[in-house]
A and B are shown apart, each in its own frame.
Chain A
Amino acid sequence: MPDAPELPRVAQRLAGTKVLITGVTGFVGEALLHLLLTRVPDVTVAVLVRPKESVSGAARIQQLLSKPIFAEVAESAGGVETLTQRIDVVEGDLHQVPALPSDLDAVVHCAGDVSFDPPVDEGFRSNVVGTRDLLARVAEVGAHVHYVHISTAYVAGRRRGTALEQPVDHSVDVEAELSWGLAQRRDVEHRSRSADLLDRLRTKAERTHGRAGLLSAAAAAEEERRSWVKDELVRLGTERARSLGWTDCYTFTKALGERVVESYAAGAPVSIVRPSIIESALVTPYPGWIEGFKMAEPIILAYGRGELPEFPASPDSTVDIVPVDHVVAAIVAVLANPPEPGNPVWYHVSSSARNPLSFRRLYATVRGYFDQHPFEVGGRGAARLPEWRFPGAQAVERLLVTSERAHRAADYLVTHAPRADRTRDIARRLDRQQRRLEFLRRYLGLYQEYAQAELRFSDQNTRALFERLDPDDRATFAFDTAVTDWDHYLAEVHCPAVTEPVRQFDEARRARKRPSSGHLDAVPSGGSGQVAAFFDMDGTMLSSNVIESYLWLRLQELDGGDRVAEIGRMAARLPGLVRAERRERSGFLRAVYREYEGSRLDDLDAIADEMLTSHVLSKLAPEAVRRVREHRAAGHRTVLITGAIRPLTRPLLPLFDHVEAADLAVDDDGICTGFLAAAPLVGESRASWMRHWAAENGVDLAGSSGYADSHSDLPLLQAVGKPVAVRPDVALYRHATKNRWPILDWNSPPTTSRTLNPAGAMR
Chain B
Amino acid sequence: MSRPGFVLEVDDRTPPLVVHEGEGFRLESFPLGTRVVYPPETLPALPDVEAAISEALLNPVDSEPLPALLRPGMRLTIAFDDLSIPLPPMRAPDIRQRVIEAVLTMAADAGVDDVELVAANALHRRMTADEIKHIVGERVFRSFFPQGLLYNHDAEDRQNLTHVGLTDQGEDVEINKRAAESDLLVYVNVNLVAMDGGHKSVPIGLASYRSLRHHHNAKTMIASHSFMDHTRSHLHHSAWRMGRMLSEHLKIFQIETTLNNEVFPEPYGFLMKREWEWSIRDQASMLAVRRGLSVAPARVKHRMFHDLRAPYGLTGIHAGETEAVHERTIQAVHRQQLVEVQGQSDVLVMGIPYLGPYNVNSTMNPILATCMGLGYYFNSYRGQPMVRRGGAVILYHPVKADFNQLHHPSYVDFYDEVLAESTDPLVVEEKYEQQYATDPWYVHLYRTSHAYHGVHPFYMWYWAAHAMDHVDDVIWVGADPKSVRRLGFRAASTLTDALEMASSTVGPDPSISYLHNPPHLITDVH
Known contacts A622-B413, A751-B299, A762-B130; decide if A617 and B406 are in contact (CB<8 Å): yes
Known: A622-B409, A654-B440, A750-B402. 18 other contacts (CB 8 A): A614-B406, A617-B445, A617-B451, A618-B406, A618-B407, A621-B405, A622-B413, A622-B416, A629-B441, A651-B449, A654-B444, A751-B298, A751-B299, A751-B302, A751-B404, A753-B299, A762-B128, A762-B130
Verify if A613 is at the interface (C-beta below 8 Å from B): yes
Q: Are B409 and A625 in contact (CB under 8 A)?
A: yes
Verify if B412 is at the interface (C-beta below 8 Å from A): yes
A-B contact pairs, 24 of them (CB 8 A): A613-B448, A614-B128, A617-B409, A617-B445, A617-B449, A619-B405, A622-B403, A622-B409, A622-B412, A622-B416, A625-B441, A626-B412, A626-B413, A626-B416, A626-B417, A651-B449, A654-B440, A654-B444, A749-B363, A751-B402, A751-B404, A752-B405, A761-B130, A762-B129
Verify if B470 is at the interface (C-beta below 8 Å from A): no
Please indicate the chain A residues that have their CB under 8 angstroms from the CB of B406 in the complex.
Answer: 614, 617-618
Verify if A620 is at the interface (C-beta below 8 Å from B): yes
Q: Which residue on B lies nearest to A761, using beta carbons? A: B130
Verify if A655 is at the interface (C-beta below 8 Å from B): yes
Q: Which residue on A lies nearest to B129, using beta carbons? A: A762
Q: Are B413 and A749 in contact (CB under 8 A)?
A: no
Chain A 603-619: CB-based contact to B (< 8 A → 1; otherwise 0): 00000000001100111
Please indicate the chain A residues that have their CB under 8 angstroms from the CB of B407 in the complex.
Answer: 618
Interface of B is mostly: helix
A617 to B363, CA, bound (A): 15
Known contacts A613-B449, A614-B449, A751-B363; decide if A620 and B299 are in contact (CB<8 Å): no
A-B contact count (CB 8 A): 56
Verify if B210 is at the interface (C-beta below 8 Å from A): no
Verify if B273 is at the interface (C-beta below 8 Å from A): no
Chain A 316-333: CB-based contact to B (< 8 A → 1; otherwise 0): 000000000000000000
Please indicate the chain B residues that have their CB under 8 angstroms from the CB of A629 in the complex.
Answer: 441
Q: Are A749 and B402 in contact (CB under 8 A)?
A: yes
Verify if B450 is at the interface (C-beta below 8 Å from A): yes
Number of chain B residues close to chain A: CB under 8 A = 26
Q: Are A618 and B404 in contact (CB under 8 A)?
A: yes
Chain A 730-763: CB-based contact to B (< 8 A → 1; otherwise 0): 0000000000000000001111110000000110
| Interface residues, chain A, with chain B CB atoms under 8 Å away | 613-614, 617-622, 625-626, 629, 651, 654-655, 748-753, 761-762
Chain A: minimal CB distance from B436 (Å): 12
A122 to B35, CA, bound (A): 88
Please indicate the chain B residues that have their CB under 8 angstroms from the CB of A619 in the complex.
Answer: 405
- Of A621, A655, A749, A761, the most chain B CB neighbours within 10 A belong to A749
Q: Which residue on B lies nearest to A763, using beta carbons? A: B130
Indicate which residue in A625, A654, A749 contacts B404 across the interface (CB closer than 8 Å). Answer: A749
Chain A: minimal CB distance from B300 (Å): 11
Which 8 interchain pairs have the tightest Cβ spacing?
Answer: A618-B406, A622-B412, A749-B405, A617-B406, A654-B444, A751-B402, A618-B405, A751-B363
A526 to B6, CA, bound (A): 64
Indicate which residue in B402, B403, B405, B413 contacts A617 across the interface (CB closer than 8 Å). Answer: B405
- Of B404, B405, B449, B450, the most chain A CB neighbours within 10 A belong to B405
Known contacts A613-B449, A614-B450, A762-B130; decide if A622 and B441 are in contact (CB<8 Å): no
Please indicate the chain A residues that have their CB under 8 angstroms from the CB of B448 in the complex.
Answer: 613
Please indicate the chain A residues that have their CB under 8 angstroms from the CB of B128 in the complex.
Answer: 614, 762
Chain B: minimal CB distance from A276 (Å): 57
Chain A: minimal CB distance from B70 (Å): 35
Interface residues of B in 278-302 (CB under 8 A from A): 298-299, 302
A691 to B404, CA, bound (A): 37
Interface residues of B in 376-409 (CB under 8 A from A): 402-407, 409
Q: Which residue on A lies nearest to B303, using beta carbons? A: A753
Chain B: minimal CB distance from A66 (Å): 45
A620 to B449, CA, bound (A): 13
A620 to B403, CA, bound (A): 11
Chain B 397-433: CB-based contact to A (< 8 A → 1; otherwise 0): 0000011111101001100110000000000000000
A618 to B412, CA, bound (A): 12
A299 to B158, CA, bound (A): 73
Chain B 250-282: CB-based contact to A (< 8 A → 1; otherwise 0): 000000000000000000000000000000000
Q: Are A749 and B403 in contact (CB under 8 A)?
A: yes
Q: Which residue on B lies nearest to A610, using beta carbons? A: B129
Indicate which residue in A654, A748, A749 contacts B441 across the interface (CB closer than 8 Å). Answer: A654
Please indicate the chain A residues that have their CB under 8 angstroms from the CB of B129 in the complex.
Answer: 762
A447 to B363, CA, bound (A): 62
Interface residues of B in 10-50 (CB under 8 A from A): none
Please indicate the chain B residues that have their CB under 8 angstroms from the CB of A749 in the complex.
Answer: 363, 402-405
Chain B: minimal CB distance from A760 (Å): 12
Interface residues of B in 113-149 (CB under 8 A from A): 128-130
A433 to B130, CA, bound (A): 55
Chain B: minimal CB distance from A148 (Å): 66
A761 to B444, CA, bound (A): 24
Please indicate the chain A residues that have their CB under 8 angstroms from the CB of B409 in the complex.
Answer: 617, 622, 625
